[in-house]
Amino acid sequence: MDDSSEIGDILAAIGNERRIAILYELQQAYRHDESSLPYATLKRRVGIRDSGNFNYHLQQLVGRFVFEADDGYALTYAGRKIVSALSAGIFTERAGKRRLDAPGTCYACGEAALVARYEQERLYITCQACGEEVFHAPFPPAPVAQRDDRLHAFEVWSRRWNALAATGTCPECGSEMNTTLTTQTPMTSIGNVSHRFLYTCTNCWARVYLPVGCAVRDHPSVIGFHASHNAELDTQPLWNLSWALSCEYTTFDSDHSCVHLRIPIETDELHLSVDDGGTIVSVAGVG
Ligand SMILES: [Zn+2]
Ligand SMILES: [Zn+2]
């Protein structure tokens, strides 16, 4: 990155507790329908009495993280992204090594013996009966520490992340993602399939290996197939869908150019074929 010096200067602007307090107060205001705060109100809420001192810190933020609107000061998109990361606890929260029972059954052994644990900003669903690492994905610390429905939130979060990646849009930065079909089994993979899609951001660090079932879980044809059979899908965590994680439901063309997934409901099946660029090339109901 050739502009790292400029970025260093930009980040230095927020390396101060009073400026962080200004960003937090503007976020609090935004949450309570105050899209901007007048100078005097912001100064009072931040609690800096000295005008010169307050103004100095405010001006360090204006331009990149804060902008001056007609009736006061407000967060820019960059300012909102910074306070979102702070509020997610990415820099500060200690969620601890939590361990709790998880709903669902293990695709490998069929036992309802799943437990969740949180380590290094990643949530793992593991089977206590057979040891299979059923599912895992990154998740911010704040919801793990604060939400009672943390596993549900984690499941929805990681599913949406996957769905964005599967459409070729980076869930972290919005840039284009490249898609390849690979037989690699990296440490961070999930499922026991032989082939996975690898989604790699062309701009940031984001990359993920997904079995085809995880990549198409939120596709309209999959949701429609379940709806037409009155089969609950939203109440099923992703790690409880065997067809999303187990090799039993996938086949591959011998030249690795296409992967085929079957999703069974009672006596019917939905068949999807996805090419090596991640595009769904055929959908068929069989029953
Ligand atoms: Zn198991
Ligand atoms: Zn990205």
Q: How far is the CA of 203 from the centre of ligand 2 (A)?
A: 5
- What percent of the chain stands above pLDDT 90? 80
How large is the average pLDDT for residues 125-154? 94
CA distance 127 to 107: 9
Return mean pLDDT, the chain.
Answer: 92
In our burial notation (b when 16+ CB lie closer than 10 A, e otherwise), range 111-140 reads eebbebebeeeebbbbbeeeebebbbbbbb
Give, as residue ranges, everything with CB less than 5 Å from ion ligand 2: 170, 172-173, 175, 201, 203-204, 206
pLDDT one-digit tens code per residue, 7-35: 888 888 999 999 999 999 999 999 999 98
pTM of structure: 0.86
Strands 207-210, 250-252: pairing kind: unpaired
Q: How far is the CA of 1 from the centre of ligand 1 (A)?
A: 45
Q: How far is the CA of 130 from the centre of ligand 1 (A)?
A: 4
Q: How far is the CA of 170 from the centre of ligand 2 (A)?
A: 5
pLDDT one-digit tens code per residue, 239-260: 999 999 999 999 999 888 999 9
CA distance 95 to 280: 39
Ordered domains of the chain (ranges, CATH): 4-87 (1.10.10)
Per this entry, what is the length of the chain?
287
Q: How far is the CA of 107 from the centre of ligand 2 (A)?
A: 31
What is the DSSP code (8-state) at residue 119? E
- Classified as helix, coil or strand, 103 is coil
Long-range contacts of 280-285 (CB under 8 A, 24+ apart): 280/216, 280/219, 280/221, 283/221, 285/225
Closest-CA residue to 270 (of 208, 212, 195): 212
CA distance 41 to 37: 6
3-state helix, strand, coil in the chain (%, to 5): 35, 25, 40
The ligand with the least distance to the CA atom of 172 is 2
Q: How far is the CA of 131 from the centre of ligand 1 (A)?
A: 6
CA distance 142 to 85: 10
Q: How far is the CA of 1 from the centre of ligand 2 (A)?
A: 15
The ligand with the least distance to the CA atom of 128 is 1
Q: How far is the CA of 174 from the centre of ligand 2 (A)?
A: 6
How large is the average pLDDT for residues 111-134? 94
pLDDT one-digit tens code per residue, 174-211: 999 999 999 988 888 899 999 999 999 999 999 999 99
